[in-house]
Amino acid sequence: MATAKQLDDITECSICTEVYTDPRVLSCVHTYCLKCIEAWSKDKEPGDEVACPLCRKEFTLPSNGVSDLPKNFLVANILQMKELSSVESKTSPCEACSGGEESESEGQNVASVYCIECQMKLCQNCERGHKAIKLTRSHKLINIGEEIGLETLYQLMPPSYCDQHEDKSIEIYCFDCKMAICMMCYIEIHNAHKCSDIKKVHEDFRKQMASDTVNVAAGAEKVREMLESLEKEKNEFIGQTTKAGEEINEKAEQLKRMIDDHREKLMNELSSVKEKRMKEIESLREEIERQLMSMESYKKYVDEVRQKGRACDIARAASGLHDRADELLTFDVIERSLAGLGHADVTFTSSDFVIDDVNTTIGYLRMDAVAVREGKYIDQSELVAHAIIIKLVLFWLRLQ
């Protein structure tokens, strides 16, 4: 049963963490309150690129601002269902008679049922009148405040209405424009286009969505493998830098009193190498995690649309969701970045001899980063750090 509590996870805005108010959906299929996305893009002008707060995918700000962003009709319908099944709805006023003369008792003005076709809350008196009128006696009524299955609510909901013609229901799908439209839209604009009854095409779109979610799920597995590979590289690199640091310390302890300042230099350079490499790894890891989060968000959203959406909801979202699936399955940039990062080995090689030179080394630090690109190994960089030992050590050794 779809209680209000069970619907919380799909009716809460991730920016304000409250129930959506006027939900708007971006091209990346993430949904936000209109007021929240307005605040997010307040410094932008129409035509500017704005990044999604969650996945950072950019979208173009419409000519009339965020108010032109498409509404998320699926979430809006769910919000209406959630409101109907809430305890608070049991005290809602009747929308048919509450604005007129007062009823005989206060209880008679409290709405007890909701008319699906009229989309109005009715009290007991208005309900009796609704059933008595020939034009409305066949309307479907549901009791307010009762727990009703989500699927049942979707079956009871009337068709969605056109954005351009608010009194016309959506009945047609235009293949040329990839839009779900009403009969008036067809007559005025789309009559020369390839169109079909929305009920005939929604199953094909549902199957397409199912295929896209399977492909995206497989792609998500590939991204997880990339993340695991990067994590392994990170752990190995940390282990090697730790080992190198231990070897540097061990060698430096032999001449501690004379070379503390040079050991510090070596450790600082090692830290610099580690910091640089870790920044590269963390930056790429964040990019991969964003890709994975987008895929998982996409799959969750499309599953909701595919399993619980009506024909018009599915037709409305099909084209954009299909395009988004294609985008999510493009890993070229990440794969190139991962290949370019390659594998890095950090080692410390100590010096086994002392030369009569103030710049004598006790060892050097080296990092060989190898990237795989088109089957070839490319040596990315080599870092050599030198530490100095003073002539007194050489003199002391000669005396021995």
- Is the pLDDT at 13 greater than 80, yes or no? yes
Domain 8-156 fold is Herpes Virus-1 (3.30.40)
**Contact yes or no for 68/61 (Cβ under 8 A):** no
Closest CA to 20 of 5, 4, 36, 6: 36
Average pLDDT, the chain: 78
Q: What is the pLDDT of residue 102?
A: 44
Distance CA 252, CA 262 (A): 9
**Contact yes or no for 366/263 (Cβ under 8 A):** no
Domain 201-399 coded CATH 1.20.1260: yes
- Is the pLDDT at 10 greater than 80, yes or no? no
CB neighbourhood size of 11 (10 A): 19
**Contact yes or no for 182/196 (Cβ under 8 A):** no
| Residue ranges per structural domain of the chain | 8-156, 201-399
- For 114-142, how does the pLDDT look when each residue is reduced to its tens digit (9 = 90+)? 887 777 888 888 988 888 888 888 888 88
Find the mean pLDDT for residues 370-375: 56
Residue predicted with more confidence, 1 or 315: 315
- Is the pLDDT at 248 greater than 60, yes or no? yes
pTM (whole model) above 0.75:
no
What is the SS3 assignment for 200?
helix
Q: What is the pLDDT of residue 377?
A: 47
Distance CA 316, CA 337 (A): 36
